[in-house]
Chains A and B, each alone.
Chain A
Amino acid sequence: MTATQDIAISVRDLKTFFYTNNRCNKALNGVSFDIKKGKTLCIVGESGCGKSVTAASIMQLLPTLSRIEQGEIIYHADRGDIPLHALEKNGRHMRRIRGAEIAMIFQDPMTALNPVYSVGFQIKESLRYHMKMVGRAAHQKAISLLKEMGIALPEKRVNDFPHRYSGGMRQRAMIAMAMACNPKVLIADEPTTALDVTIQAQIFELMDKLKREHGTGIMLITHDMGVVAELADDVAVMYMGNIVEAGTVDEVLRQPTHPYTKALLASVPVLGKGKNQDIKAIRGSTPDPLNRPKGCQFADRCDFATAQCQTMPEETHITPTHRVMCWRYKELVPNG
């Protein structure tokens, strides 16, 4: 296992529940993972599996009707370990970490920037609150951030309002904002879903550069397997509030063990195979989160399900880094 000093955030047995209409949705049901310094952790899974809730839990940006029920989120800061789950949601301590040490970029850059303030103003807000940087110094810093993010004519663009930026530029501006205080961890919640493919590649290239140059740990939420193969150092596959399989990118993509991971990889269309290729969609649909199956959440849709799957499988380590939640993983390990 990795030494503790390389880990930026460790999440242990995190359970986040949503309470709506007097019913409880166990959105995260015991999730554990580490975000390592200078590495990219990709979290993949289909819609509604809890990817974004994981991000919101770390940032303490959960909606009012939800809360962290159990488990811990430890942020390994230079000044010591900080239990994020225990901090008051919008309290002073949490706010000092948010944006300064752990920053986040969102899915849709079109709506994530405030339309009535200039991009520069929004970047300078971070600088003002975390670095006590105001006036000319902040302005220069904002310009240099935009420049670093590859925005042309940053001196002029810094005063522009978001509606004068293109989608890709807005996401760059978002990243500039997030990187303003040189955070230890950057959480990116599907940062390119709303952008077209060429821009997507540019944004990821930018994130990769930031990771290398600043040693930022990145948690990238995506459902694009191509992105995972390209960027990830570690991968966690989520399904219905659990991490069903996690490991290094090689382990998970080359030796997928959980039936869900296998099915997910089999369902990706391959470029060049033509339009008649046989895409293996996963049969059935995700269960109702308020009316979950007992035991393994994937059992109903799984080709390998047995009676044993009626009870929740334990998390098992195949290698020190590769773990899986499946009763029959031994039979499914490729070459194993």
Chain B
Amino acid sequence: MLTYIIRRVLILIPMAFVICFLVYLGLELTPGDAVSHMINPDAAGSMNPAQLEALRQSLGLGQPFHVRFWSWFTNLLQGNFGYSMSGGVPIANIIATRLPATLELAAVALVFSTVIGSLLGVVSALKRGSKTDSALTVIGMLGVSIPEFFFGLVAISIFALNLGWFPVGGRSMPGYLTLWDRLPHMVMPAMVLSIMLTAGVMRYARSSMLDALSRDFIKTARSKGLPEWRVNLLHGFRVALTPVVVLIGFRLPVLIGGSVIIEQVFQWPGIGNEFISAVRSQDYPVVMTIALLSVMAVLVASLIVDILTAVIDPRVRLGE
């Protein structure tokens, strides 16, 4: 098992390197360079080409591609992501302030949807054909098919504006320091973020569970005289878990990259919100860093999924 994990982590290193390279190459291929973004076209037109060239040289842009890539990459490894062009703030600082907010939301949504989603899915599968099952199926369909922002707006309209139970948006108010203080702010975005994931997990868990329950080993387990809970949970659910873990795992990068829409709707100061404003102000270094972060999140998530599936299903442990 340990060999498997080590091997899996080692594979990750070249993959991460290749991804960094591709992201950098992508930016290189866009027309213009940093200077053309820094100086507006009117001003650039009136400037002396020699001045522009001098600026390029001073920024190191005259260097060949591989040299620039290498210096960018080594900076990256030291945690130096460069500076935001609109504010001149180090991007590392931006990430450091934004990421916790996003992670906080993601963690709540992930835990909630995993627990509630699998639970409802299993109940639905065990009571197949019952009224509970039909009701849950319909709710699940609605959950996955109605877009998140709609739920967000409805929630704001009902619970914030009419009932006044929760604040309309934001993460905290001045003076709110503890998590407990900020909890009311988190309820709505976390719940809305959870809806789609919960519905997805539920539908997945249901079909996966039904599939597992129809397998021969369930009959074997019953024929051994095991109690029903053990047959259903230990033999059924354990096998049904693998596809569910994969689904949840691959939702993880989306949550870490920031749920752009939800953060926008609730004015949540997370990565997703930052991403939107960076795109609007054409702040390329920030956009690039967030993109890189999302891609790395995909890598990490797939690593976690691989390790978890190997824990759940021994057949996955390759080369043991």
A residues sitting closer than 8 Å to B (CB atoms) are: 59, 61, 90, 94-100, 103-104, 106, 108, 111-118, 125-126, 129-130, 161, 163, 174, 177
Contacts and interface: CB of A to CB of B under 8 A. Distances in A.
Contact of B225 (A106, A113, A114, A126): A126
A51 B216 CA distance: 17
Given A161-B315, A163-B315, A115 B239 contact: yes
Contact of B239 (A95, A97, A114): A114
Nearest to B317: A161
Contacts of B219: 61, 106, 112
Nearest to B223: A104
Interface residues of B, number: 21
B226 A125 contact: yes
B313 interface: yes
B217 A90 contact: no
Contact of B222 (A98, A108, A111, A174): A98
Nearest to A180: B224
Contacts of B223: 59, 61, 98-99, 103-104, 106
Contacts of B226: 95, 99, 125, 129
Contacts of A95: 225-227
A110 to B, nearest CB: 9
Contacts, number: 75
Contacts of A61: 219, 222-223
A90 B219 CA distance: 12
**Top 9 A-B pairs, shortest CB-CB distance:** A99-B225, A98-B225, A99-B224, A111-B216, A114-B217, A95-B225, A161-B314, A104-B223, A112-B216
Contacts of A174: 220
Nearest to A59: B223
A114 B222 contact: no
A116 B225 contact: no
B215 interface: yes
A115 B222 contact: no
A113 B315 contact: no
Contacts of B313: 115-116
B217 A163 contact: no
A142 to B, nearest CB: 13
Given A90-B228, A95-B226, A129-B226, A114 B314 contact: no
Contacts of A112: 216-217, 219-220
Nearest to B315: A163
A130 B227 CA distance: 11
B221 interface: yes
Nearest to B235: A114
A61 B221 CA distance: 11
B123 interface: no
B239 A113 contact: no
B215 A116 contact: no
B279 to A, nearest CB: 45
Nearest to B241: A116
A111 B225 contact: no
Nearest to A126: B224
B85 interface: no
Contacts of B297: none
Nearest to B228: A90
Contacts of B235: 114, 117
Contacts of B239: 114-116
B225 A97 contact: yes
B238 interface: yes
B225 A100 contact: yes
Contacts of B314: 115-116, 118, 161, 163
B312 interface: yes
Contacts of B220: 106, 112-114, 174, 177
Interface string B225-254: 111101000010011000000000000000
A163 B317 CA distance: 12
Contacts of B221: 114, 125
Interface string B200-229: 000000000000000111011111111110
A230 B143 CA distance: 61
Contacts of A96: 225
A129 to B, nearest CB: 6
Contacts of A118: 314
27 contacts: A59-B223, A61-B219, A61-B222, A95-B227, A96-B225, A98-B223, A99-B224, A103-B224, A104-B223, A111-B216, A112-B219, A113-B217, A115-B217, A115-B313, A115-B314, A116-B238, A116-B239, A116-B313, A118-B314, A125-B230, A126-B225, A129-B224, A129-B225, A130-B225, A163-B314, A163-B315, A174-B220
B209 to A, nearest CB: 14
